[in-house]
Amino acid sequence: MAEKSSIAESVGVPAGFDPHRVRGDFPILSRTVADGRPLAYLDNAATTQKPRAVLDALQEYYSSYNSNVHRAIHELGQEATEAYEDARGVCAGFINAPESACVVFTRGTTESINLVAYAWGRASICEGDQIIATEMEHHSNLVPWQILAKEKGANLLTVPVLEDGTLDLDVYESLLSPRVKLVAVTHMSNILGTINPLPRMISAAHAAGAKFLVDAAQSVPHFEIDVQNLDCDFLACSGHKMLGPTGIGILYARRELLEEMPPFMGGGEMIHKVTLEQSTWAEIPHKFEAGTPNIAGAIGLRAAVRYLQSIGMGAIRDHEESLTAYALQRLRSMPDIRILGDAPDRGGVLSFLMDDIHPHDIAQLVDREGVAIRAGHGCAQPLLRRFGTNAVSRASFCLYSTEEDIEQLCAALGKARDFFHHGNG
């Protein structure tokens, strides 16, 4: 315990933030797993747990005013519509969008990026044009651009990742030219935790005449995002990674881009006038929300955003930053562990390799000790190949993560090592 205390002091645990109190708001964190062990949930980059406020919001919608939106004149329909559109406004305010009409509800980051690729990309990318992504992208911010480039005869260029897990910005800036129409970059890597220098990258892209899309799936839940300050053209994020429900997310885009883009899907709600011969489209953002939307998801996401705001994004960032430093020190003190990347600006994601033990085996063994981590390629196969592996173990943190979670992980890793080396796990 003395070692633990000295590490906590050296990394500067923030005062005034108590993750143990926060944990009381998340019912699932009180359960036990693995024959009565406390749950150390360290798979937050995949999905976060939900506070009671979100669960209550979902329950209230379904039990009190369940109805479709933008259609019914009756009282339930009006209440549902008001809540749904208020959720849009809350989400817009959370990322400081200039107006709520610039926020489109989607199923999540993946659909948001595909929406841009389909609606903006197919209308804007031509043969010989170039799109820039990076070697650290999640497949959701790579595969859509591969499909688009192949379809249009465009070229997809990628920015390499340096050994410390940062992007080679010299190469990035050398790739920019008038032929580049779009740059698509993750704000924070889901494998390395690297936080990319978006202001510099966006400014350079705009100087070359390119649009810039931000994959903010890993950043929006963990520190303050201001799309006007970033000056990005598109930004995508997922509700389930920010304490909200699954199946809901948002796409932010500049008004002029949304107005120019054709619809993503056709059907009900996204139309203005329909005849047997042709149709005209609804105003933004409804032009991109065909069919019955995930109303409960939007209302649950509103509750999640309000919960994050009640804690304060600055306090969350400080806590996770100190917790990451603590975890880095603890894991680096253990033998035979290699952590991928060492970026100076990083978030609460640690991917590692342990001696010659396969990450899937590690995940299974620590699960026996009540520790939930991710194992595999993390939807980032090109990045893992760059670091000479096809799978990693990953621990990722959230506002409710604690030093005790990290200690439970380290103890479980020690038992996993003993199991493989001595057969006494």
d(C-alpha 423, C-alpha 369), whole Å? 17
For residue 149, the one-letter residue type is A
User: What are the DSSP E strand ranges found in 208-297?
Assistant: 211-215, 234-238, 249-253, 271-274, 279-281
pLDDT of residue 172: 98
d(C-alpha 151, C-alpha 122), whole Å? 9
User: Are 183 and 211 spatial neighbours (Cβ–Cβ below 8 Å)?
Assistant: yes
Provide the pLDDT confidence category of residue 7 given band limits of 50, 70 and 90: very low
Structural domains of the chain, ranges and CATH numbers in brackets: 2-49+312-422 (3.90.1150.10), 54-310 (3.40.640.10)
d(C-alpha 190, C-alpha 173), whole Å? 23
Q: CA separation (Å) from 159 to 174, 202, 332?
A: 10, 14, 28
- The neighbouring-strand residues paired with 130 are 155, 180
Per-residue pLDDT, averaged over 208-228, amounts to 98
Give per-residue pLDDT as tens, 293-350. 999 999 999 999 999 999 999 999 999 999 999 999 999 999 899 999 999 999 999 9
From 17, 41, 46, select the one nearest 28 (Cα to Cα). Answer: 41
Name the catalytic one among 102, 126, 237, 379. Answer: 379
Full-model pTM: 0.94
Q: Check whether 4 has a pLDDT greater than 80.
A: no
Strands 249-253 and 180-186: unpaired
pLDDT of residue 423: 65
pLDDT of residue 275: 93
**Known catalytic membership, residue 102:** no
d(C-alpha 304, C-alpha 418), whole Å? 41
From 107, 371, 76, select the one nearest 265 (Cα to Cα). Answer: 107
Question: What is the residue-averaged pLDDT of the chain?
Answer: 94
pLDDT above 70: percentage of residues in the chain: 96
Positive/negative CA dihedral, 321, 323, 325, 328: negative
Provide the pLDDT confidence category of residue 17 given band limits of 50, 70 and 90: confident
pLDDT of residue 108: 98
Largest CA distance in the chain: 77
Give per-residue pLDDT as tens, 159-217. 999 999 999 999 999 999 999 999 999 999 999 999 999 999 999 999 999 999 999 99
Residue 218, sorted as left (phi over 0), alpha (psi -120 to 50) or beta, turns out to be alpha
User: Are 112 and 104 spatial neighbours (Cβ–Cβ below 8 Å)?
Assistant: yes
From 102, 163, 127, 132, select the one nearest 343 (Cα to Cα). Answer: 163
Per-residue pLDDT, averaged over 260-265, amounts to 95
Per-residue pLDDT, averaged over 51-65, amounts to 98
Q: Check whether 38 has a pLDDT greater than 50.
A: yes
pLDDT of residue 324: 98
DSSP code, position 240: G
From 200, 247, 239, select the one nearest 216 (Cα to Cα). Answer: 239
